[in-house]
Amino acid sequence: MALAFDEFGRPFIILREQDQKTRLRGIDAQKANIAAGKAVARILRSSLGPKGMDKMLQGPDGDVTISNDGATILEQMDVDNQIAKLMVELSRSQDYEIGDGTTGVVVMAGALLEQAERQLDRGIHPIRIAEGYEMASRVAVEHLERIAQKFEFDVDNYEPLVQTCMTTLSSKIVNRCKRSLAEIAVKAVLAVADLERRDVNLDLIKVEGKVGGKLEDTELIYGILVDKDMSHPQMPKQIEDAHIAILTCPFEPPKPKTKHKVDIDTVEKFETLRKQEQQYFDEMVQKCKDVGATLVICQWGFDDEANHLLMHRNLPAVRWVGGVELELIAIATGGRIVPRFQELTPEKLGKAGMVREKSFGTTKERMLYIEHCANSKAVTIFIRGGNKMMIEETKRSIHDALCVARNLIRNNSIVYGGGAAEITCSLAVDAAADKYPGVEQYAIRAFAEALDSVPMALAENSGLQPIETLSAVKSQQIKENIPFYGIDCNDVGTNDMREQNVFETLIGKQQQILLATQVVKMILKIDDVISNSEY
């Protein structure tokens, strides 16, 4: 792009390769951007809430994903438009920061854009709308702080955490087992949580899945699950009070780094070489036996000879275990990863109460359970399900539940779900609009209206009359001045979310409002779009 002047001194812009570019300016650019943002929000709107529908996405190589997790849907969608990409980023940042509420945040941003379009039609300047939105979001976030409730929990009484995780899981495909899955998620988080520092390292929770069985068979293992079996079929399948040597060196004779050639011209020389190799193996196995190891876990493979020797010396072994799993095993058993046989000492061995091999179904698939570890700071959630898609979706659902439990340990304030928090914020923002004398008050009222879109979508997805239901709940909140009334999606017969036990984390809700407002402000400030044309 270059600026030039004609003979009268009037400026004009020259675009490089102008015939290949399209350009939108002013109000047209804003309208086009808003339309793109709304299109993405419309896709996700129908998958909000406990009665939300799932989306089926086919990847480029034919693999199918079924999900109603906003971040997953948008990640898998192939989006070309720049503004639509912003919406994908928005959902992703909510997923990274909070882990839950990824659909709601996009629906919220779409509603704000829709309202902004109406304000633009009235002739209000986009910057004034953006400023009004900013003021309104501050009012909403402060109001959420005021209505939030703290609840106390400890390691023994974790019921409030389970209730909040159940709210998260109720909108997923796994909602028929939400109680058991929520309990598993909470127990896993409490097992690895540092309650004094109020911190949780989710890397210590490994989520494994295996096709087969049913969803109810999902279990929490206080230890590590490795998708491997013993290296020799005749090795013992169960070892109690195991002392584990964790090795990253292979059970093989040493090889020189340079290229080499061994000339063998007599039988004696061959015998000598074979004996030498056998001696290497003998020393390696003996080294492991001497330090008191009763199980060897190795990152690399063994020769058949080594395997045979291990079998004869009664030293069970597992080979080809991945690096991440080795680290988790080391954390759980309190062992050290040993890079060379010479460095093996009894102190570096990990300890586990029980190591057992378990086979599944009629297939020959076996897995290794390492349980009752010295340090139970690493746990595994083992998911079973009818097919691969179900397991993948359950993994995503469990991830959301784990994130919610982590957020509650960090900050134990909750607000009520079912659209209750949005309705009460909408009323608060509406009331605050009168205090602002400028044009911004139109934008603030528009923000209040946009907040209503979440409960409206919930009602719509649940097959209720959206406008009637929303206005009934709103009037109930105003009359009784109680911010706990929301949309009765599951047709329980009460709108009181305290009775229905529908909670959401305060930081999650605040983050939704702030992120959605930021993205909408950014979109409104764009007034010139220069892009390569399609052909």
Q: What is the 3-state secondary structure (H, E, C) of 108-133?
A: HHHHHHHHHHHHHHCCCCHHHHHHHH
Q: Where are the beta strands (DSSP E) in 218-264?
A: 219-221, 223-226, 238-247
The reply to whether 242 and 371 lie within a common domain is yes
Instruction: Note whether 185 and 165 are within 8 A (CB).
Output: yes
The reply to whether 323 and 436 lie within a common domain is no
The catalytic residue positions are: 69, 102-103, 400
- Write down the number of H helices and E strands in the chain: 17, 21
Please count the structural domains in the chain: 2
The reply to whether 365 and 257 lie within a common domain is yes
Cα–Cα distance, 423 to 485 (Å, whole number): 9
Q: 314, 343, 375 — which closes off a domain?
A: 375
pLDDT value at residue 21? 66
Q: Find the radius of gyration of the CA atoms of the chain.
A: 30
> Domain of 243: which CATH number?
3.50.7.10
Unique residue bearing structure tokens 């955490």: 161
Spatial CA neighbour of 177 closest among 169, 168, 189:
169
Residues spanned by the domain of 86: 17-149+417-448+504-532
Question: Residue 84 falls within a domain, yes or no?
Answer: yes
The reply to whether 245 and 298 lie within a common domain is yes
The reply to whether 324 and 425 lie within a common domain is no
pLDDT value at residue 535? 47
Cα–Cα distance, 175 to 215 (Å, whole number): 11
Instruction: Give, for all 535 residues of the chain, the pLDDT tens digit.
Output: 678 887 888 887 777 766 666 777 888 888 888 998 898 889 888 888 888 888 888 888 888 888 888 888 888 888 888 888 888 888 888 888 887 888 889 999 999 999 999 999 998 998 999 999 999 999 999 999 988 888 777 777 778 788 888 888 887 878 788 888 888 888 888 888 877 788 888 888 888 888 887 888 888 888 888 888 888 888 888 888 888 888 888 777 767 777 777 788 888 888 888 888 788 878 888 888 888 888 888 888 777 777 888 888 888 888 888 888 888 888 888 888 888 878 888 888 888 888 888 887 666 778 888 888 776 678 888 888 888 888 888 888 888 888 888 888 888 888 888 888 889 999 999 998 888 888 888 999 999 999 998 889 888 888 888 899 889 888 988 898 888 888 888 777 788 888 888 888 888 899 999 999 999 999 888 888 877 765 4
Question: Residue 493 falls within a domain, yes or no?
Answer: no
Question: What does the block give as tokens for 472?
Answer: 């009934």
> Domain of 526: which CATH number?
1.10.560.10
Cα–Cα distance, 272 to 270 (Å, whole number): 5
Question: Residue 4 falls within a domain, yes or no?
Answer: no
Spatial CA neighbour of 390 closest among 156, 64, 138, 59:
64
pLDDT value at residue 18? 64
Question: Residue 394 falls within a domain, yes or no?
Answer: no
The reply to whether 425 and 302 lie within a common domain is no
Question: Residue 407 falls within a domain, yes or no?
Answer: no
pLDDT value at residue 514? 92
pLDDT value at residue 376? 65
Question: Residue 464 falls within a domain, yes or no?
Answer: no
Q: Which residues of 178-198 are buried (b: 16+ CB within 10 A; e: fewer)?
A: bebbbbbbbbbbbbbbeeeee
> DSSP letters along 265-287, please?
-SHHHHHHHHHHHHHHHHHHHHH
Instruction: Note whether 71 and 94 are within 8 A (CB).
Output: yes
The reply to whether 102 and 39 lie within a common domain is yes
Question: How many alpha carbons fall within 13 Å on the CB side of residue 193?
Answer: 21
